[in-house]
């Protein structure tokens, strides 16, 4: 029932654009070289996670600055199950996703039950992610700070079941995940729950007086967002094959996740996707260009992110997508 009105209020123009984009993305690996493919994988990874984060912040108005926690929990759980017991990632998901969802629910419960809101909520999300980072540094089962490695070989074929294979397989998995996340987010936004989230985001007290159990709906938002994010973590583990707490749970990972949606447009459906394309795409281009002229500047990417963020905040505080959607003639509801 939730998906029955999926194409309601979608103009032909939007459908055509969407179809064209999908064709390009599905065809891209046939044209792209290895380097471009890894960039595209990174873009889709951020497009997917950005959407998950956007459910919490963009829809329900709860600022999380610790989404690396859910990526890390997903990644570590699935990787450890594989390394120790030979359990494949798709089965591992059944453990990893609930663990991340529980972690989200735990943070949500603490915060919402005791009325920790706004920046204090954001600080709590950072604190738990940092706690996990330090904790995993000392957790022998996942090899602590020396890192957890998945066995790697030169893969000539793609084993979709065990996620052992070439980058192109990960590209398609992330593409499908991104598309599904988009469809899911749109369905959520058009449903009762979506309206309640927006109401809470806009004015929590007014939402309560309109009969909304704000605690319940905020809990749902955190749990869904955490669960979705952890899936990306599982893919991350099997794509990179190595996990270090210092990297996976680090706050800079959490910040990276939220840059795309902020640049693209918080609370919009397409914003996180376009934000990921612009930021990751442009920063990788920049670095490639720097390399081409023989420069290797550490931190160039971060500086670039900073400049992008500044420009967007000053020129388009609602993000690029609402502006772009107007330019290409999409309606208010299609943003």
Partner 1 sequence: MSALLKVDGISKRFRGLLAVDRLTFDVPRGGIYAVIGPNGAGKTTLFNMIAGVYVPDNGTIDFAGERIDGLTPDNVCQRGIGRTFQIVRPFPALSVEDNVIVGALMRRTDVADARAHAHEVLRRLDLFDKRAQRASSLTLPDRKRLEVARSLATDPKLLLLDEVMAGLRPTETDRIVSILKELNRDGLTILLIEHVMRAVMALAGRILVLHHGAAIAEGLPAEVVRNPAVIDSYLGAEDI
In the complex, which residues of this chain contact partner 1 (CB under 8 A)?
5, 190-192, 195-196, 198-199, 202-203, 205-214, 267, 332
If the CB atoms of residues 208 and 250 are measured against partner 1, the closer one turns out to be: 208
Name which of 212 and 309 has its Cβ closer to partner 1: 212
d(CA 236, CA 48): 12
State the nearest-atom distance from the C-beta of 173 to partner 1, in Å.
32
Locate 288 and state its tokens.
């490639």
Residues 6+ apart with CB under 8 A from 204: 61, 117, 214
Angle between helices 251-264 and 271-292 (to 10 degrees): 110
Minimum CB distance to partner 1, residue 2 (Å): 10
* Min dist. Cβ of residue 192 to partner 1 (A): 5
Shortest distance in whole angstroms from residue 266 CB to partner 1? 11
Nearer to partner 1, 54 or 283 (CB): 54
Contacts 24+ apart (CB under 8 A), 3-10: 3/183, 3/187, 5/190, 6/183, 6/186, 6/187, 8/190, 9/331, 9/333, 9/334, 10/334
Q: How far apart are CA 125 and CA 137, in angstroms?
A: 19
CB of 208 to partner 1, least distance (A): 4
Query: What beta strand segments (E) does 146-214 contain?
Result: 148-149
Nearer to partner 1, 16 or 206 (CB): 206
Question: Which helix (H) or strand (E) segment is 242 a member of?
Answer: strand 242-243
CB nearer to partner 1: give 182 or 197. Answer: 197
């Amino acid at each position: 029932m939730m998906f029955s009105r999926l194409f309601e209020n979608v103009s032909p123009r939007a459908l055509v654009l969407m179809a064209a984009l999908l064709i390009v993305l599905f065809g891209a690996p046939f044209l792209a070289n290895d380097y471009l493919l890894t960039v595209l994988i990174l873009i889709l990874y951020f497009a997917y996670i950005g959407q998950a984060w956007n459910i919490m912040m963009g829809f329900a108005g709860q600022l999380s600055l610790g989404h690396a926690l859910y990526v890390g929990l997903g990644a570590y759980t699935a990787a450890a199950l594989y390394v120790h017991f030979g359990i494949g990632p798709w089965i591992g998901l059944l453990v990893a996703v609930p663990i991340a969802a529980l972690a989200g629910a735990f943070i949500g419960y603490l915060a919402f039950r005791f009325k920790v809101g706004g920046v204090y909520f954001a600080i709590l999300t950072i604190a738990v992610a940092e706690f996990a980072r330090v904790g995993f540094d000392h957790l022998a089962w996942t090899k602590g700070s020396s890192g957890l490695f998945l066995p790697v070989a030169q893969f000539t074929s793609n084993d979709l079941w065990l996620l052992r294979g070439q980058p192109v397989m990960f590209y398609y998995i992330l593409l499908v995940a991104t598309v599904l996340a988009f469809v899911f987010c749109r369905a959520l936004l058009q449903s009762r729950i979506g309206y309640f989230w927006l109401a809470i985001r806009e004015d929590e007290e007014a939402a309560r007086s309109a009969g909304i159990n704000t605690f319940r709906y905020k809990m749902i938002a955190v749990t869904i967002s955490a669960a979705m994010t952890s899936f990306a973590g599982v893919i991350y583990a099997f794509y990179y094959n190595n996990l270090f707490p210092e990297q996976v749970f680090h706050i800079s990972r959490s910040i990276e996740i939220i840059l795309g949606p902020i640049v693209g447009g918080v609370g919009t459906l397409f914003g996180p996707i376009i934000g990921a394309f612009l930021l990751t795409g442009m920063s990788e281009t920049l670095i490639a260009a720097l390399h081409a002229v023989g420069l290797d500047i550490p931190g160039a990417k971060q500086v670039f992110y900073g400049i992008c963020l500044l420009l967007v905040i000053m020129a388009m505080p609602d993000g690029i997508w609402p502006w772009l959607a107007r330019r290409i003639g999409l309606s208010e509801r299609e943003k």
